[in-house]
Structure 1
Amino acid sequence: MAHVSAAERRPQLIKAAIDLMTREGVAAGSTRAIAAELGVAQATVHYTFGTKEDLYRAVMDHLTEELIAQVEQAAPTDAGFEETIAALAGALWRTVREEASSYHLLTELTMLALRTPRLSETRQAHLRGVIEVTARLMDEAAARAGYRLAQPAETIARFFLAGFDGLTLQRLSAPDVDSERAGLQALVAATTALAGGQLHLVDVPTS
């Protein structure tokens, strides 16, 4: 059998891990099971990645890169601010419907990362990356439309993503098409209002 370098084996193992864990859940993603999924020795996984956590980190990075690419591709380059937010929300929601298994897997891995110190940095990098891209797209849409943002783009991006994550979790847990549509429309309206200064922030006692 021809020798396969670690650089070549790496994407193969990431895909095998994603296929296996998408089908059977993160708990099933042992290095032995992932190796069997690809048809290689378990030692190949450890040689390529070191530990199971290192492989999980690579899977999270891969899924995050795909999500960021979807966010970037979803934003139109010739629309006003509100139209951009609506297009962004609509395009992302289509991926939630059509690629629910990927969102499910990323959610499972994120929950695992909350309890796994070695995955903490990856979890934080995932969140930072998505926020930065979303904030940049909002800044660009505002500049293109001559639209003055009433709040920092990062604040608006975090608000939008928090709402979108909530809708995604509801979709994964208990799908309801009518409620999802209304929630998505409300999210776009609220994000636009926050960006334009029509949605005022109020003091909330937290201590």
Structure 2
Amino acid sequence: MAHVSAAERRPQLIKAAIDLMTREGVAAGSTRAIAAELGVAQATVHYTFGTKEDLYRAVMEQLTHDLIAQVERAAPADAGFEETVATLAAALWQTVREQPTAHQLLTELSMFALRTPRLQEALEGHYGEVAAVTTKLVTEAAERTGHQLAQPAETLARFFLAGFDGLSAQHLSLPDEEAELTCLQALVSAVVALAGGRMELVTMPTS
């Protein structure tokens, strides 16, 4: 049998892990089961990644990069600020509707990582990258359209992602297409209003 290098095995094992855990959940993703999914020896997984946590980290990175790439491709080149934000939000929402299992797996891996010290860095990297890309897209849209942001782009990005994560969880748990569309429109409207200084922030009570 021809030798396959670790560099070649790496994407194969990541795909096998994604396929397996998408079907059966993170708990089923042992190195033995992932190796069997691809039809290789368990030692191949450890040789390629070192540990199961290292493989899980690679899976999170792959899922994140794939979703981000889809959204970045949808960024319009000549639209206004509001239309740009709406287009990007719609593209991201389309990934939830068309690839719900990818979002579910990312959520499961995130929860698993919260209780796994070796995956804390991967979890921070996942959310950090998503926030950074969203911040970049907001910044670029504002600069291209000459839109003066009333709030920092990072604040707008975090606000949008907080609402979007909640809406995604609702879609996975209790889907309602009509209500989801209204909520998505409301979220985008709130982001645009906040960006334009048309939303007054209430004073929060202090303890």
Whether TM-score is above 0.5 comes out as yes
Aligned to 2:75: 75
> CA-atom RMSD, angstroms?
1.0
Contact kept in structure 1, 2:67 and 2:95, CA below 8 Å: no
Q: Give the superposition deviation at 1:148.
A: 0.4
Contact kept in structure 2, 1:71 and 1:133, CA below 8 Å: no
TM score, norm. by length of structure 2: 0.97
Alignment CA distance shift 1:155-1:98 (3 Å): same
- Gapped regions of structure 1 (runs ≥ 5): none
Aligned to 1:65: 65
Q: Give the superposition deviation at 1:68.
A: 1.8
Aligned to 1:194: 194
| SS at 1:10 equivalent | helix
The amino acid that maps onto 1:126 is H
Aligned to 2:37: 37
Aligned to 2:10: 10
* 2-structure distance, mates of 1:198, 1:158: 18
- Which portions of structure 1, spanning 4 or more consecutive aligned residues, are displaced by more than 2 angstroms? none
* Structure 1 segment 88-103 matched on structure 2, within 5 A: 88-103=88-103
TM score, norm. by length of structure 1: 0.97
* 2-structure distance, mates of 1:165, 1:74: 20
* 1-structure distance, mates of 2:54, 2:188: 37
Q: Give the superposition deviation at 1:139.
A: 1.1
* 2-structure distance, mates of 1:70, 1:164: 16
Q: Give the superposition deviation at 1:146.
A: 1.3
Q: Give the superposition deviation at 1:206.
A: 5.4
Alignment CA distance shift 1:40-1:165 (3 Å): same
- Gapped regions of structure 2 (runs ≥ 5): none
- Report which stretch shifted further, 65-74 or 76-85: 65-74
**What do the CA deviations read for 1:169-199 (whole angstroms, capped 9, x no partner)?**
1001110111101100100100000000011
The amino acid that maps onto 2:186 is A
**What do the CA deviations read for 1:46-104 (whole angstroms, capped 9, x no partner)?**
11111111110110111111122122112211111100111011111111100111001
